[in-house]
Structure 1
Amino acid sequence: MLDKTPTPTPPTHTQGLLPPILPLLKDQPMQWLALGFKDLARAPLLSLMHGLILAILGGFITLLAHDQFWLLVGSLSGFMVVAPVLATSLYAMSRAMEKGETVDFELLVNTWTQWQLRLRHQPDSYWSLIRFGLLLGLAATGWVITSSALITLLAPAPIHTPMDFIRHVVLAKEGHLFELWVGLGGMMAVPVFASSVISMPLLLDRRVTVLQAVLTSWKAVFTHPFQMTLWAFLILGFSLLGIFSLFLGLILVVPMLGHGSWHAYRHLVDVSNLPERITGQGEL
């Protein structure tokens, strides 16, 4: 007689706990930079192409909005906040290098067009890249609205251009508006960083939802606050260096940080129990 007892369905990854966070060395973020530069050197043309595109975009934004302070701030803020999404194909390159796969232009195209196209395989993460990018865009918009309201209400004179901001806010002899503005920016940057620092590499590499990726990112930050703070300052410092070098520095900075972020994810998260997302020409 056949046993008609239904076989229990094993729990899926969406039902399980968040993946474990791995131990780190104190100077691990410096290693991520070195590994990022190593990946850049292994595929220099494709890597530097990412930086060149973002440098051209940043220069174009500045050219259009150089005399419109809040438009310039909004554009550059959005540029910085959504950078983890824009670097997705850099993560894919490092992933392919790690697996010994071919790194070419086709890989970049497939990363943006094929890895999330088949809804039936995982409906809970369909268009996860787009959804996460929209969340980051909303965060950037919130920062611009909040900071513009703060400056408009408290500045001693109207702020219309970058020079107005420098004259009446940065170099103001009375009050602490600039310090307050920087502090507010820091308070809003912390949750954005904590939510995004490893979310996109995890979404690219494993079949997880946006919520799982974000919560895992927060878990990593809480587990290693010193290393993640150091990583945040390295990202900020190199990004500002790239921007203030008339965006030319971004040609090198963007791929180095993008590849480095992949290695940060790999060193931080134990994903051995999460189903892999097969990219490129494979089944999703």
Structure 2
Amino acid sequence: MTRDAAPSTQPLPIRPITSSSPWRWLSRGWDDFARCPGPGLIHGAALAVFGAALFVLAYDRFWLLAGAFSGFLLLAPVLATGLYAISRGLERGERVDMRTALRTWRPRDRRLVVFGVLLAAAGTGWVLTSAALITVFADAPVRNPRDFLHVVVLAPKSLLFEAWLVLGGALAAPVFASSVVAIPLLLDRPVGIWRAVLTSWRAVVEHPLPLALWAAILMTMTAVAIAAGMVGLLVAVPWLAHASWHAYRDLVDTTSLPESA
């Protein structure tokens, strides 16, 4: 590697933020959704239908359902990439619509596709780990949500549910740290995947408390949306996606790089 090539792998500078910043991101995200609701509602509806289909197909295989939903949450940020493009277009004063969102997946730019594949691999790993843990260590078969509640969550003298949560958190935390600003950065600037991931980690390391709050907001709002029969995803998906764009813009100093087309 030449001396000139070395900086291309270095994480980008991170701007200072405060613990109130996540609430500001939510406010700005809602403004973007209100200005251009169509693409957001389409994304939200697609994910709601997918989640509902997953629930119906795996209802009697709850060991699979629990892991699959967790994997679904890991993939959601990359599936909402088109909505980052909507927010970017609004920020630039451009006219935006569903075509703006679809153009983010143009074949000539494979970085987002590769990153999505990596997240899918992480999600698949968690599905298999979750399935193995519950199948092997549960005291009785777990076939549906009621079984999961009684056999895993409320089981006396068992730490299976706690172990399941710890393992899920152990996977989700590094995935969040690797992707919290990496996906919008890949969309917005001509950087490599490794540099985007390192920048994302740098943001988390420099601002652990605000980004822990942001992670909690993302998980809570998504859980509430799913608990509302998936219908809540119609609003939660675009709202959180647009807010995530503003998180990236507040956190990452990209002034040294040209914008992507």
TM-score range, shorter chain: over 0.9
- In 2, Cα distance between the equivalents of 1:11 and 1:37? 42
Matched, 1:145 2:138: no
Tell me the SS of whatever aligns to 1:160.
coil
Match of 2:222 in 1: 239
User: What is the one-letter code of the residue matched to 2:247?
Assistant: A
Residues 35-64 of structure 1 deviation map (CA, whole Å, 9 limit, x = unaligned): 100100000122222111111111111122
Tell me the SS of whatever aligns to 2:8.
coil
- In 1, Cα distance between the equivalents of 2:45 and 2:185? 25
Percent sequence identity over aligned pairs: 49
Tell me the SS of whatever aligns to 1:38.
helix
Pairing partner for 1:17 from 6, 10, 17: 10
User: What is the one-letter code of the residue matched to 1:34?
Assistant: S
Matched, 1:102 2:95: yes
Alignment of 1:59-208 (within 5 A): 59-113=52-106, 117=108, 126-208=109-191
Could you say if the C-alpha distance between residues 101 and 205 of structure 1 is closer, same or farther in structure 2, counting changes exceeding 3 Å? same
Asked if the contact 2:59/2:144 (under 8 Å) is kept, the reply is yes
Count of aligned positions: 260
1:162 Cα deviation from its structure 2 partner: 2.4
Q: Which moved more, 1:38-47 or 1:261-270?
A: 38-47
User: What is the one-letter code of the residue matched to 2:127?
Assistant: V
Asked if the contact 1:205/1:277 (under 8 Å) is kept, the reply is yes
1:275 Cα deviation from its structure 2 partner: 2.5
1:257 Cα deviation from its structure 2 partner: 0.3
Pairing partner for 1:56 from 35, 49, 60: 49
Pairing partner for 2:234 from 251, 260, 284: 251
Tell me the SS of whatever aligns to 2:99.
helix
1:68 Cα deviation from its structure 2 partner: 1.6
Match of 1:219 in 2: 202
User: What is the one-letter code of the residue matched to 2:54?
Assistant: I
TM-score using structure 1 length:
0.87
- In 2, Cα distance between the equivalents of 1:102 and 1:12? 37
1:179 Cα deviation from its structure 2 partner: 1.4
1:159 Cα deviation from its structure 2 partner: 2.1
Could you say if the C-alpha distance between residues 247 and 206 of structure 1 is closer, same or farther in structure 2, counting changes exceeding 3 Å? same
1:200 Cα deviation from its structure 2 partner: 0.7
Query: Which protein is richer in helix relative to its size?
Result: 2
Q: Which moved more, 1:13-22 or 1:49-58?
A: 13-22
1:276 Cα deviation from its structure 2 partner: 1.7
- In 2, Cα distance between the equivalents of 1:58 and 1:148? 18
- In 2, Cα distance between the equivalents of 1:128 and 1:70? 33
User: What is the one-letter code of the residue matched to 1:52?
Assistant: A
Could you say if the C-alpha distance between residues 90 and 12 of structure 1 is closer, same or farther in structure 2, counting changes exceeding 3 Å? farther
When the two chains are superposed, the root-mean-square deviation of aligned CA atoms in Å is 1.8
Could you say if the C-alpha distance between residues 74 and 151 of structure 1 is closer, same or farther in structure 2, counting changes exceeding 3 Å? closer
- For structure 2, list consecutive stretches of 5 or more residues without a partner in the other structure: none
Match of 1:44 in 2: 37
- In 2, Cα distance between the equivalents of 1:63 and 1:188? 26
1:138 Cα deviation from its structure 2 partner: 1.0
1:158 Cα deviation from its structure 2 partner: 2.3
Asked if the contact 2:111/2:193 (under 8 Å) is kept, the reply is yes
Matched, 1:228 2:211: yes
Could you say if the C-alpha distance between residues 169 and 252 of structure 1 is closer, same or farther in structure 2, counting changes exceeding 3 Å? same
- In 1, Cα distance between the equivalents of 2:126 and 2:9? 34
Could you say if the C-alpha distance between residues 97 and 69 of structure 1 is closer, same or farther in structure 2, counting changes exceeding 3 Å? same
Asked if the contact 2:225/2:233 (under 8 Å) is kept, the reply is yes
User: What is the one-letter code of the residue matched to 1:193?
Assistant: F
- In 2, Cα distance between the equivalents of 1:225 and 1:205? 24
User: What is the one-letter code of the residue matched to 1:103?
Assistant: V
- In 1, Cα distance between the equivalents of 2:67 and 2:134? 14
